[in-house]
Structure 1
Amino acid sequence: RYDRRGAGATPGVWEETGFTDNRRDASAALRTLAAHPDIHPDAVGVVGHSEGALHAMTLAARHEVAAVVLLAGFAREGESAFRWQAASVFGGLPAPVRLLRRPLGALAERVLARVKRTRTDVARIAGLLPVNAHWMREMLVHDTRDDLAAVPAAVPVLAVTGDKDVQVPPADLDEIRRLVPGGDTEIHRVPDLTHLLRRDTGRPTIRSYRRLLREPVDPELITLVAEWLRVRLREPLRAPSDERRAARP
């Protein structure tokens, strides 16, 4: 894990950072990790969640990792995923708000069209707070299916999405499995798991996010990912630190 631009001690401005900038940062983090003396560079995997899953697909397609875990990733063009998410989130809002579906939908279309026409990193859309237009423009045209089809056959893939995810289509798991050419592709559609990787037995809605964020990430999910990675990224017989100690006089 690492802090994104503008967070913690990482320099930069998050609101001006593009979608491809985030992917380049992830690639740089991987190179830094692989160069560490206690790390075997040929046994480095990546776990990506939400947007991170999209970047994990690209890193795998570019032969930068030995294994990849996709948590809540989609298999479609960004704009299609954005529209699915908007409809899904809207469906979980209170009934009085849902009655405004038509005017709010028209407003959303105008906002989307305005974002596509922008050329600056940050833009104020429809009088709203400034948005990261740079990130939005790049995300909307990004098609994850290209990367999924380019994942090397030797790279194992684990894809997990909760069946109560309102931000990513759970059905895209089947498309991920179909597109990835390798034989070691495992998918899990986890009952009651939300986009936040916490379980919720109630009706899926973003209104539950504040409550769910006070809970830990689902322990069964952590066990699944850890065990899957342990098997695919087996430790070599001798660790790098042992080799260094053996070379000392």
Structure 2
Amino acid sequence: MKKLLITCGTLFALSASLPAFAEDPVGDWTGSIEGMIRLNIFFTKTPSGQHEVNIISPDDDKETIKADKVEARENFMRFSIAKYNANYEAKWDETQKAWLGTWTQGQSLKLKLTRLDAEALAAQTQRRPQEEAIAKSPRNYSSKDVSFQNAKVKISLAGTLTLPQGKGPFPAVVLVHGSGPNDRDETIKDHKFFLVLADHLSTQGIAVLRYDKRGIAASTGDYKSATTFDFADDAQAAVDYLRTHSEINQDKLGVIGHSEGGLIAPMLAANNPKLKFIVLMAGPGVRTDAVLLEQSRLTLLANGESQAEVEKAQKVFREAYSIMNSGADNKTISERLKAYFDQAEKNGDLDKGAGAKQLSRLERPWFRAFIKYDPAPTLAKVKQATLVLNGELDLQVPAKMNLDGIRANMKANKNVVIKELPKLNHLFQTATTGSSAEYGKIDETLSPTALEAMSGWILQQ
């Protein structure tokens, strides 16, 4: 009897340890990595029985990323993405009806996945009320597609010219993009930054030319090999194009540059005395390597990294940028960078495989030129009226260090207005933290405060 009770008890214990449910990972799931980055996980099974995982982040330009290795069984999932040195492992929690797991990518972060149904998908769709209003409302300006040449390198740049209603000539601006493969609207996270800016300015009586970067959308040329100085040549070609239009008041022609465009606008002004004014939106005022180091520090802190991890990253990139600015030839710099990153991986300062990714990024022609640039001499040469705007919450071109730099470098110019706009981020959206993770989640594309500051000032020039 005792033996039977033990046997029955053992069977009961075993049966109690088995789940009364079984969840198959196959399906559509959604979650947020500790509230920062949203991920949609699409778990499928091929006819041959192989599991596949595709990942899309609504907060990261909606690129589809396929997992390399996938393991799945009842109540368990695991997958990895070698390209990003990332992996996820989770178990099913019947009480919460969710996968509870850990996303590991340099650090371990909690990621809870729930069903991605129609309601959840609809909740992810962000509204763009400013763009919607532009599409629905009648315009008091004309808009036409145009093209112009950068004869220096024989490329054609495609853009849009908006002209106010009425009899000209009109004050006018060329819009110059920030870094990245931007189209004429400077589309970022489904926000059409330059569309909203052009609409506002032309509604206020200011003509606007915006254009696709070389090699992007309808423009010809090679984007990948271009540097900031090449993009400056393209911006000058845009100014030259407006010089040919009778509708444009040549005495009131200026440039608005955003981010990297805020480096380019002073270049044009310093070399073109006939340019009437420039507007710098989050334009760097100190050396670009210093801007990138501070950008990295603030971004890592905003993403929840520990102070120790931030300091480790700062050390790695400070040394890397020092190597790039050593004055050596490109071949020597690449060799020194590779050796340094290899050692950093051995020391644990970089994750395994991260060095090769960083080397690929730093060896781009654009980055080689950008990291060496000091805007101080060019800013000192600018004699034109200048409006300088920066968002208080800008983590990419931090306000204090860059506004202080511009103020110091342009002290001889008595027609400079500098404004730090409260609660605005790098895209001049009203924000909470300034983190780039917020960009796509914010409905507002461009703050009315920033829009009015620019149009009001331009009309006074």
TM-score, normalised to structure 1, is 0.80
Alpha-carbon shift at residue 40 of structure 1 (Å): 2.5
Q: Supply the distance in 1 between the matched residues of 2:265 and 2:372 (Cα, whole angstroms).
A: 17
Residue in structure 2 matched with residue 139 of structure 1 by the alignment: 370
Matches within 5 A, 1:9-48: 9-48=218-257
Matches within 5 A, 1:20-169: 20-62=229-271, 63=273, 65-95=275-305, 99-109=308-318, 112=321, 119=330, 126-128=355-357, 130-131=360-361, 133-152=364-383, 155-169=384-398
2:439 is equivalent to residue 209 of structure 1: yes
Q: Supply the distance in 2 between the matched residues of 1:194 and 1:101 (Cα, whole angstroms).
A: 21
Q: Is the 8 A contact 1:50 1:73 kept in 2?
A: yes
CA 1:6–1:115 in structure 2 vs 1: closer, same or farther (change >3 Å)?
Answer: farther
SS at match of 2:250: coil
CA 1:85–1:118 in structure 2 vs 1: closer, same or farther (change >3 Å)?
Answer: farther
- Unaligned 5+ runs, structure 2: 1-209, 339-354
Q: Supply the distance in 1 between the matched residues of 2:403 and 2:324 (Cα, whole angstroms).
A: 29
Q: Is the 8 A contact 2:297 2:310 kept in 1?
A: no
Q: Supply the distance in 2 between the matched residues of 1:17 and 1:74 (Cα, whole angstroms).
A: 19
Q: Supply the distance in 1 between the matched residues of 2:371 and 2:364 (Cα, whole angstroms).
A: 10
Of all paired residues, the percent bearing the same amino acid is 26
SS at match of 1:65: coil
Alpha-carbon shift at residue 65 of structure 1 (Å): 1.6
Alpha-carbon shift at residue 112 of structure 1 (Å): 4.0
* Correspondent of 1:178 among 382, 388, 408: 408
Alpha-carbon shift at residue 92 of structure 1 (Å): 0.9
Q: Is the 8 A contact 2:251 2:274 kept in 1?
A: no
Between Structure 1 and Structure 2, the one with more strand by share is 2
Root-mean-square deviation (Å):
2.5
Letter of the 2:269 counterpart: A
SS at match of 1:127: helix
Q: Is the 8 A contact 1:47 1:53 kept in 2?
A: yes
Residue in structure 2 matched with residue 6 of structure 1 by the alignment: 215
Q: Is the 8 A contact 2:259 2:282 kept in 1?
A: yes
Q: Alpha-carbon deviations, 1:10-55, whole Å to 9, x = none? A: 1123221111101111111111111222212232111011000110
Aligned residues: 225
Q: Supply the distance in 2 between the matched residues of 1:64 and 1:7 (Cα, whole angstroms).
A: 29
- Unaligned 5+ runs, structure 1: 233-249
TM-score, normalised to structure 2, is 0.45
Larger-Rg structure: 2
Between Structure 1 and Structure 2, the one with more helix by share is 1
CA 1:112–1:183 in structure 2 vs 1: closer, same or farther (change >3 Å)?
Answer: closer
